[in-house]
Amino acid sequence: MASLKALKLRIGSVKSTQKITKAMKMVAAAKLRRAQANAEAGRPYSQRMAEVVASLASKVTPGPDSPKLLAGTGKDDTHLIVVASGDRGLAGAFNTNITRAAKRKADELEAQGKTVLFYFVGKKGRPLFQRLYPKAIVGQFDTSAIKNPAYADAQAAAKDIVDRFESGQFDVAHLVYSTFKSVLLQEPTTDQIIPVKVDRADAKAGAASAAVEYEPDEDEILKALLPKNIAIQIYRAMLENQAGFYGSQMTAMDNATRNAGDMINRLSIQYNRQRQAAITTELVEIISGAEAL
């Protein structure tokens, strides 16, 4: 059984930890408001960009002169999984959920006989794959010094990925990140970003609704838009991840604060019981000594 002094020190230690977790919760809550606003503001633009690119792509028959980001390499043997995660922990299962989604996608592709490679945006997604697929990691974009993601950061990551695609390192790229739903819910999402996915059935259904003439032609427009679309989708993933991270951290620190409070209560009860028992023992010894005299 722990001594009274040890219990008192333990209570003081837990109280100090509780102050830290409470402060971290408040900081995460303050940062969450801005991060959530940025993520929500970026969604319409990224969604509309994806729709415009898909619409243009549906009007183009892939051929030798088509942009490679649209036509692809002509095969799908090697797949790159871009894992966008956070750079810090203490956020519950936020980073773990992203890596699990990426691992599921990797297992699915390997079951189909595909070769899987990994590229990381953020460092917390790397350790699992460093252990399981040490030879399959082809690159990482360091975001540890980035406090608030900017489009220029996403452009740099997108350029690195596109350059690897142009050099023939992979045939298809998938982006895995966490979509922010609420403080309590962040949903891991997997999107194919290279080559652009086109639903030909939807394109035929929409062909009769509008006749649009492009100047210059669709191929030229797509050559300019496709790299930007990849950068925008990565930028959206970075914004969604930032909001999801702060939401998860706020929830985790709130739970930690409440758990610390429960522990303090239990330790205080134990401390008071032992203190009362010690006082009772001393009284019994004093009374017994007085009677002996």
In the predicted model, residues of the chain with pLDDT beneath 70 are 1-2, 62-64, 198-216, 290-293
Distance CA 272, CA 82 (A): 55
Q: Taking Cα atoms as reference points, which of 147, 116, 150, 143 lies closest to residue 132?
A: 116
Q: What is the DSSP string of 237-286?
A: HHHHHHHHHHHHHHHHHHHHHHHHHHHHHHHHHHHHHHHHHHHHHHHHHH
Q: How far is CA 278 from the centre of its chain?
A: 52
φ/ψ region of 173 (left if φ > 0, alpha if ψ in -120 to 50, else beta) reads beta
Distance CA 7, CA 264 (A): 10
User: For residue 172, which phi and psi values (nearest 5 degrees)?
Assistant: -135, 140
Whose structure tokens read 């401390």?
Answer: 271
The pLDDT of residue 104 is 95
Rg (CA), the chain: 28
pLDDT digit string (tens) for 197-236?
Answer: 766 544 444 444 445 666 667 777 888 889 999 999 999 9
The pLDDT of residue 144 is 87
pLDDT digit string (tens) for 153-208?
Answer: 999 999 999 999 999 999 999 999 999 988 888 899 999 999 887 665 444 444 44
Q: What is the signed CA dihedral for 180, 118, 155, 51, rounded to 10 degrees?
A: -60
Q: Taking Cα atoms as reference points, which of 122, 97, 58 lies closest to residue 248?
A: 97
Cα 101 to Cα 94, 104, 176: the distances in Å are: 11, 5, 7
Distance CA 60, CA 45 (A): 23
Is 38:242 a contact under the CB 8 Å cutoff? yes
pTM of the model: 0.84
All structural domains of the chain with their residue ranges = 42-249
How many Cβ atoms from other residues are within 10 Å of residue 141's Cβ? 22
DSSP assigned state of 74: S
Architecture of domain 42-249: 3-Layer(aba) Sandwich (3.40)
Residue type, 292: A
